Structure 1
């Protein structure tokens, strides 16, 4: 049951996010038809009783039923058309207008007929606006919303000028100041329950979907897409945070810079897709050898990577770097039946007195010393501030 519910929620989310015209129209029909059929059934069944029939304005009773029936048949037709085109990703502005305008305006007209101020029809109308807006852009809904607004303004003007009574579908409003008529008590309870529960569910669903996509966007902003590591911006943010923590506590903190040796040669010899494969593998190895929620592994730029290791002194950082370098050195990349390996040079610095900026410069200097010394080696040192004069 949970798997089935999750499947349908994922499909619903996909339709809302993708906003393909045909599937959005189909979903709007699926959402609108049940409430229209409920209203049609309540009115059709209720008026068979003479006491209930007397509650409705005889002038509008049959026309309202014909209106609701015609609206249901029209939307069913739009649903069939949308179903046939559900696999076509093209824009379908005509289908959107032929579905959205009747669905929204039709519900608004019915709501005005029953009265907005003292019936659940105001909630029905609100639910229709929420559902429709979730499926379509405002530009696509401009006619549906403008015509609905015009209908509500016209109703208010006509009511104020006494050209038309409030809730013209009824002989008198549902709530007249006293106890509700038994029919209206039943009708209001059924309509309110039928709308409030789905509306609440959709609101929670939309909020959860929005929150999940917000988190995904935040992850995209912080993450390097090729390697899955933190990007440089995220690394610098965490570096500053750890700097304050190290300055207060005095606990060890180390910065490790990696640079893939002769990476340009890899690209020139094997091609950029293989170069990307190498970088992705480096990212995988870095993730494997770092502590989740403690260390930070990031792509620093190009073929450069960096580790931020809280609670790790120079010796510990060297140990981590040696394991990472050995793992990369042992991995064979295969291309068209041939294999090759890559190595990396490493520069390490242990932060002193929270000066992570200087530690990063020292690690960078150590990295270039490793490269000048023949590559595939590690150079490490403490990042003492007095070294600045000798940099």
Structure 2
């Protein structure tokens, strides 16, 4: 039991939205297929035909086939992007609308919509709210309530019978009295409202905590820039996007020149001030949110520039260099300037490791040829 609990906790906390939708698809689709095959066999078995109403089951078969198709297409589209952290509201809504009404229709047609099953569905709703975004789950829940309400009203008014999947003689007078439908509807809706209210308060708090933890895990505490972990994630995503679209992608590695001397001669407080200033200047030089400024560690920074050619990188780096040249650090006679060595490379189908290695080679060339400059493939740009 403990390993399963640990797995569920890790899955809920660390899984991506796409993985959660895929879990719902993998859990529900086999059940739909079993019901589809079982009903199909029953409708074609002479002994079962005497007890079943084809006019009720064949539409259910069609709906389940459609729900299964929606699940499979959604899974096929999400699978290549399953590890991306982006929300997938449309896919989530489609799967919720495929699963929720399907289970509701199965229960209604079989006449098994009891108070116990209501509690089970409310439990499923709670799990769904924990795993998925709230809006798709509430839309699916509202759809299920509408289906149940229409069914109960029709039974009370005599428009159709309870458990329409079976012929009358099979039920043997076990159809619930009219007040049972009203009580069940009240209990289902009232319980749902109470549960939604309590879960809403809980999930709002969980969302805030999760957002804060995610922000902390991706942010450098000193500069406020993206940290190395976030930089690698963005770089992998952008390299994959470039492979799909062919759009340009540039990477710049940046190193503060002689930063160890700054710490040794002026102290770590001044060194931290230099790093914070560099962070703010990098943020000012990029196009938010397409470009990403990162601190990789120590005095090493990076710019990830999607949709940017190498000939455009020079303008970005020159703007950064000029902004930094206007800043002085320290006080009085101890005031000093900071310069940057920068190495840039444009992605041309390389993987992430190759792209980083090539950018690092250009950064090394900038340092070895005098620092305070930008080096690109075949080019070295010195300060004016």
TM-score category (smaller protein): 0.3 to 0.5
